[in-house]
Structure 1
Amino acid sequence: MAKDSNIIHKYNNYLLLEKALSENSIDAYMTDLAKLSTFLEKEQLTIENVTLDHLQQFIAQLYDLGINPRSVARIISGIKSFYNFLILDGYIQTDPTELLETPKIGLKLPTVLSLEEIKSILSQIDVSTKEGQRNRTIIEVLYSCGLRISELTSLKFSGLFLDEGFIKVEGKGSKQRLVPISETAIQEINNYLYYRNQQKAKKGSEDILFLSNRGTAISRIMVFHFIKEYTEKAQIKKTISPHTFRHSFATHLLEGGANIRAIQLMLGHEKITTTEIYTHMDMTYLREEIITHHPRNKNKSR
């Protein structure tokens, strides 16, 4: 087993120097590899004489221990990486992990509210008060524009282009984007501005749209709190957060027939979707996609 330890040490250096992985990533790889090493030691096997059958027995034991499929998939990925290293460094000629199957992992679907549930939540709000109108406007903007909570709390007066039907938000990495806003949300903002224009903002918060009673930008915690309060009053049993309205925004648009590319751009996703087609899509078309398909534009009733 001393030789195995030497190989594992070299693999650690390979991850650090050649793959340039972070310390946390390397620790995760080595932890998973330690599980395999323990199995091999019990079976009196060495790293170099492992077969596909041996690896399948190892994976079966992981399941027997109650390890969930997602974690098993990660361990298999680490083992494949290790044996790829052994091939590259000439320790073995054939890869025993080549036919090792990764478990299928079901997607955990986010909680989504129906339009009726959103109406029910909104109906719990007393809009005759400054706080009530502010809170209703916040929920309407979260849902009508699909914003992240951080984008909502940092929304600025200077980012409102209501006559044009857009707002400018600052997303992850301080990247800005224009988002179409519905007529319903525009009306709520105008209703809120009656109170907002009378409120004195603390220094540095003058351009912030949604203020707390202290005159500073409303906090994420406060938004979480009143959303939970209204949800409970509406007797909705789902676990709801500000992000739930973002999920509902995307889901309802997709169900209504909106272009998936338009939705991805509106959400500010930049994974594999950052291609020419997204950066060159006409903004007028994007606004039409959102306005046409968002349910809040089909029913203006409060």
Structure 2
Amino acid sequence: MKWQQAIQDYKSYLKIERGLSQNSIDNYVLDVNKLINYLKDKDIQESPLSISSEIVQQFIYDVAKDLNARSQSRIISGLRSFFNYLIFEDYLKTNPLEQIESPKIGRKLPDTLSEEDINKLINAIDLSQPQGERNRAMLETLYSCGLRVSELVGLKISDLFFDEGFLKVTGKGDKQRFVPIVPHTQKLINIYKEQVRVHLPIQPNHQDILFLNRRGKQLTRAMIFTIIKQLAEKISLNKNISPHTFRHSFATHLLENGADLRAIQLMLGHESITTTEIYMHVDKRHLKDVMNAYHPRK
């Protein structure tokens, strides 16, 4: 089996069997391509079925030695997944990364914005421009519903269940969940829909997409990043923020105000509660408040 055929089959497996998004699939394949390029540079004629653990180990040492622990761990994890797939399909008996350990990495605490920061960012939006109403509705939705940027740009009008107070969100692996949406955010979305969106030259296949650009097409993830970066510069916010910062802030503020961790997990769409538990480390005051409120010897 040649490398390109193995990668093609692997991509199909990730999409069909594991239900991963194209973005996730590309990230998995990126790690394998790094190994392939390394073999070409070293003129090593090994197939994915004959490559030895020694060669893989040398690759990791040569390529990852200048990377931080998190990046090293990511490459090892990506390659391990690829070779596990070959074992799953009975092409291999053992994984060449079996004896290779990932470096220990600390869990990175997410960046967050204060409520004041978020208000300043949203208030900095120029509402005299048509896209201003759209941008305000988008940022409020990001923050009040804790969406990923991919979930925001993919949001459909048919996903709005305002009478019930929910959005239907399609997350990673096309998994769907219902997220509460507050009346204030509903109001801003309706203003955008009724005063701005109705005047756009909406393109075929984009009629149901909620947030559109001026040409009537679905916004890109990059456009959301740009909008947020420009607003941060406008208010001189000295923080490196992205759309995901709004999602982190959503979870952190809920936790600080006493929300249940399990409820936050469901709203964020985390498969495992351990992913949500990272927010327990953001603000230590919450832990003290829980102790003072519930411990019998407080």
TM-score scaled by length of structure 2: 0.60
**Structure 1 pair 238–214 and aligned structure 2 pair: CA distance change class (3 A):** same
**Structure 1 pair 35–134 and aligned structure 2 pair: CA distance change class (3 A):** closer
Q: Could you list the runs of 4 or more consecutive aligned residues of structure 1 that deviate by over 6 angstroms after TM superposition?
A: 25-28, 71-77
Larger Rg belongs to: 1
Deviation at 1:120, TM superposition (A): 0.7
**What letter is aligned with 1:152?**
L
Residue in structure 2 matched with residue 161 of structure 1 by the alignment: 161
Confirm whether residue 218 of structure 1 aligns to residue 193 of structure 2: no
Output the CA distance in 2 between the equivalents of 1:134 and 1:223. Answer: 11
**Structure 1 pair 178–30 and aligned structure 2 pair: CA distance change class (3 A):** farther
Confirm whether residue 261 of structure 1 aligns to residue 271 of structure 2: no
Q: Secondary structure at the match of 1:178?
A: strand
What are the Cα deviations for residues 79-123 of structure 1, in whole angstroms up to 9, with x where unaligned?
xxxxxxxxxxxxxxxxxx9xxx99863221121111110011011
Work out the number of aligned pairs and report it: 208
Cα pair 1:171 1:268 within 8 Å, conserved: yes
Residue in structure 2 matched with residue 181 of structure 1 by the alignment: 181
Residue in structure 2 matched with residue 137 of structure 1 by the alignment: 137
Confirm whether residue 171 of structure 1 aligns to residue 171 of structure 2: yes
Output the CA distance in 1 between the equivalents of 2:113 and 2:183. Answer: 21
Q: Secondary structure at the match of 1:150?
A: helix
**Structure 1 pair 75–227 and aligned structure 2 pair: CA distance change class (3 A):** closer
Q: Secondary structure at the match of 1:224?
A: helix
Cα pair 2:224 2:243 within 8 Å, conserved: yes
Output the CA distance in 1 between the equivalents of 2:160 and 2:60. Answer: 56
Deviation at 1:223, TM superposition (A): 1.1
Residue in structure 1 matched with residue 127 of structure 2 by the alignment: 127
Deviation at 1:132, TM superposition (A): 0.4
Residue in structure 1 matched with residue 89 of structure 2 by the alignment: none
**What letter is aligned with 1:132?**
G
Residue in structure 2 matched with residue 280 of structure 1 by the alignment: none
Percent of residue pairs bearing the same amino acid type: 52
**What letter is aligned with 2:244?**
H
Q: Secondary structure at the match of 2:179?
A: strand
Cα pair 1:32 1:75 within 8 Å, conserved: no
TM-score scaled by length of structure 1: 0.59
**Structure 1 pair 71–127 and aligned structure 2 pair: CA distance change class (3 A):** closer
Q: Secondary structure at the match of 1:197?
A: helix
What are the Cα deviations for residues 20-39 of structure 1, in whole angstroms up to 9, with x where unaligned?
xx9949979645745999xx
Output the CA distance in 1 between the equivalents of 2:74 and 2:223. Answer: 37
Cα pair 2:156 2:209 within 8 Å, conserved: yes
Residue in structure 2 matched with residue 296 of structure 1 by the alignment: none
What are the Cα deviations for residues 194-234 of structure 1, in whole angstroms up to 9, with x where unaligned?
21123231000001110100101111111111111001111
**What letter is aligned with 2:255?**
L
